Amino acid sequence: MSKKIILVGGAGKGALVSQVIDDNRRHFGDLEYEIAGYCNDYDLGQTIHGYPVLGGISDIPRFIDEGYYFVFAIHMTDRNYLTEEVFKRCNLPLDRLPNIVSKRAFVAPTAELAPGACILQFASVSQNAKIGLCTIVAAQGMVGHDTIVGDLCHISATAIVGSRIVIGRAATIGLHATVVELNKIGDYALVGAGSLVLKDVPAGQIWAGSPARYFREVRRD
């Protein structure tokens, strides 16, 4: 019997993960997980791509008691601190956070995925890389060998994160951005879309451009 998944999030990153689960089921016969619906505080009583919004964050303890599994898919661009705050409010048990990995992705045998990490279509996670708790590597994203990606991060579609990089918690690497080898991205930092990172990005800062430069601080509200 398939395990029932509740996607904590909405039509953005939650829907991206739902596509992977559906694709794995339809085209690869992987029936381990089945989507039950969504959980968020903004779309109550509605449906998202055909799946019902079953309740809000306050309903999560009931969902846990009912045996559901969860995908945490809330990663708010430029509100990285708030992403972590919402995750803590959810208080999701680690043993209910499965790894969702597209059958169309590559994950090296020596890579490590923390609970809740999701690897989407055509993404690549190389040898000895470590992907943190509830981090999403989006479609065609690439994480190089021996790179450490922290908890609650979002590696956006087509982003390239080179080798031996350390990314802190709740950081965002924007669409089609590139982070060159041996650099560090601090906690809650954001690398803008299309940026080229050639040196360390401090915690809580937004860097953008090619080469990337300081733009401003990440919002704290």
pLDDT digits (tens, 9 = 90+) for 111-163: 999 999 999 999 999 999 999 999 999 999 999 999 999 999 999 999 999 99
- pLDDT bin (cut points 50, 70, 90) of residue 183 is very high
- Above 90 in pLDDT, residue 217? yes
Vertex 42: Cα angle to 56 and 3 (nearest 5): 45
The phi-psi region of residue 57 (left if phi > 0; otherwise alpha if psi is between -120 and 50; otherwise beta) is alpha
The DSSP code sequence of 118-187 is EE-TT-EE-TT-EE-TT-EE-TT-EE-TT-EE-TT-EE-TT-EE-SS-EE-TT-EE-TT-EE-TT-EE-T
The fold of the 100-212 domain, in CATH, is UDP N-Acetylglucosamine Acyltransferase; domain 1 (2.160.10)
Written as six digits, the tokens of 162 are: 């080179």
User: Would you state the pLDDT for residue 153?
Assistant: 98
Cβ–Cβ < 8 Å for 126, 108: yes
- Above 90 in pLDDT, residue 221? no
Alpha-carbon distance 150 to 130, whole Å?
8
- Above 90 in pLDDT, residue 2? yes
Question: Domains of the chain: which residue ranges?
Answer: 3-96, 100-212
Mean pLDDT rounded to a whole number for the chain: 97
Residue 53 CB partners (closer than 8 Å, separation 6+) = 37, 38, 39, 40, 43, 44, 45, 46, 47
User: Would you state the pLDDT for residue 1?
Assistant: 85
User: Would you state the pLDDT for residue 173?
Assistant: 98
Mean pLDDT of 9-33: 97
- Above 90 in pLDDT, residue 171? yes
Q: Classify burial at 29, counting beta carbons within 10 Å of its beta carbon; exposed 0-12, middle 13-18, buried 19 or more.
A: exposed
% of the chain beyond a pLDDT of 90: 98
Give the burial string for 61-89 (b: 16+ CB within 10 Å, else e): eebbeeebbbbbbbbbbebbbbbbebbee
Written as six digits, the tokens of 43 are: 């779309």
Mean pLDDT of 98-110: 98
| Number of DSSP helices (H) and strands (E) in the chain, helices first | 3, 24
Cβ–Cβ < 8 Å for 130, 111: yes
Alpha-carbon distance 64 to 54, whole Å?
13
Residues 57-86: tens digit of each pLDDT: 999 999 999 999 999 999 999 999 999 999
The CATH architecture to which 3-96 belongs is 3-Layer(aba) Sandwich (3.40)
